[in-house]
Amino acid sequence: MKKRILFITQDLGRTGSEMVLWYLLINLDREKYEVSVFCLRKGALYDLLPDYIEKNILYKSSPDWSDRAFRRLIKLFGVHPLTYQLKRIQQRFKADVWYVNTIAVPEVLEIPKPEGVKMITHIHEYLYAFSEIKAKTLQRAMDYSDAWIGCSDMVCEKLVDLKQQNVFLQYSFVDTETIHTDPLKIAAIKEKLGILPGDQIWVVSGGTKYMKGLDQVLPILEHFKAEPVKIIWLGAQVSNALELYVRTVAEEKYPGRLLFAGALAADYYNYMSAATGLLLLSREETFSLVMIEAAYLGLPIVAFDIGIASAFIQKDMGTVAKNRNLDELILGMEKVHEGAGYSKVSLRNAAMAYSAKQQLPLYEQLLAKVIAQLTAENQD
C-alpha cells in the first residue's frame, strides 16, 4: 500500500534547501508514494512539478484571485485560513506523514498538529537562523516532530543537544549533471567585466549581507591594492546600508575591483568559471552547496571554517582559515595566485560525493526507513 506524504515548504525556489527537496520530489518512486506539495509562496520550480504530484499554495499567496477572496471571506467568520486550508488538504489527501522542509515555515507550526499524522522536520538552519526564529516556533517544532533530518553533522549535533529523538543525517547535495559551462560565454563575461589575462579573480556567492561576509571584501581589496585582484559577487543585492557602504568605499578606493553581478540563473556557472577560485566568507553555514559547485568546476577554495569546509577541503583543494583568521585566508589566496598545485581531479572527486547521483539514493532509503518506522508506530 502506498504511503502518502504531504511536503510543506517555503516556495520551491532555487535555494539550497528547496533544490534538495525538488530532486527528491521528482525522483520518488510513484509505486511506493503518493505525494502532495504545499508551498507558502510560488517559487521558480512550483509550476515545473510533474502532473502526478498534487500541489497547493497558501491562499494568501495564490495567483488565483478567488483563493485570496475566499481567504478574506472565511476570516470575516473568524476562521483561521491556514488551519482551514491544511485541514481540507489533509481530509482530501489523507497523508500518513507531513514532511516540513525547514523550520523557516513558522505559520505551519502555529496550527494544531493533525491527529494521527506523523511529522518529519528537515532542518537546514543553525544558531544564527535560530536567533531569527521565535522561541515558540522551535518549541512547537520540537513538540510536533516525530523525526528529524539534519543537513549536516553539526545540525544533527544541535538537535541531539535539544534532547530530540529520531535524528537522522542526510547531507545536502547538488545535481552535477545540470552544471554546464560554455567557453565562449565565459570569454564574453570576462570581456564584459573588464577582466584581463593577468587578473586574479575570486568569486563569492550569496546575498549581499553581513552574515555572508560582505564587509570582509574591503580589507581583502586593501591588502591586494597593488595587485590585479578582483572579486565577483554573485547573488541577490538586498540594497541594505551595508551594501551601499561597501560599494561606495570600493568604488572610491578600489575602482573596478568589486564586481556585483546580481542574482543569476542561466549564466551562473559561466560566471563562476570566470574566476580563479572561490572565496567563502560567511560567518555561518550549515553546509555550503556553493563549495560543492565550485569544486565540481575545479576551482580551488579558500574558506573560513564554516559548514563542512574543514572536512571537505583537503590540502590539494584549497585552504581553510581557522577562527575566522583573515590573514590566514589571505595567505590561502596568495598560494592560489602563486600557482600552488591544486588538483582539479581531487576537487571534482570530492564534489561527486555530494552529488545527486550519490546522495539521492541514500535520501530515498532514509525516507523509506523513517516513514516505515513512524507508520508502524501508528499501527501499534
CATH topology identical between 3-173+356-379 and 176-352: yes
Can you tell me the distance from the alpha carbon of 238 to that of 317, in angstroms, rounded to the nearest whole number? 31
pLDDT higher than threshold 60 for residue 267: yes
Can you tell me the distance from the alpha carbon of 96 to that of 313, in angstroms, rounded to the nearest whole number? 40
pLDDT higher than threshold 80 for residue 284: yes
How confident is the model at residue 182, as a pLDDT? 97
DSSP3 helix / strand / coil % (the chain, rounded to 5):
45, 20, 35
pLDDT higher than threshold 90 for residue 62: yes
Single-letter code of the amino acid located at 191: E
* Distance from the Cα of residue 273 to its chain's centroid: 20
Q: What is the CATH number of domain 3-173+356-379?
A: 3.40.50.2000
Higher pLDDT, 238 or 193: 193
pLDDT higher than threshold 60 for residue 380: no
Residue with cell 572536512: 311
pLDDT higher than threshold 80 for residue 190: yes
How confident is the model at residue 341, as a pLDDT? 83
How confident is the model at residue 113, as a pLDDT? 86
The pLDDT > 90 percentage for the chain reads 82
How confident is the model at residue 265, as a pLDDT? 78
Mean pLDDT of 191-197: 95
* Distance from the Cα of residue 294 to its chain's centroid: 15
Going from N- to C-terminal start, the domains of the chain cover: 3-173+356-379, 176-352
Q: What is the mean pLDDT of the chain?
A: 93
Instruction: Yes or no: say if 366 and 149 are a contact pair by the CB < 8 Å rule.
Output: yes
Q: Which CATH superfamily is domain 176-352 in?
A: Glycogen Phosphorylase B; (3.40.50.2000)
How confident is the model at residue 378, as a pLDDT? 63
Higher pLDDT, 305 or 108: 305
Q: With bands split at pLDDT 50, 70 and 90, how would you rate the model's confidence at 243?
A: very high
pLDDT higher than threshold 90 for residue 177: yes
How confident is the model at residue 331, as a pLDDT? 97
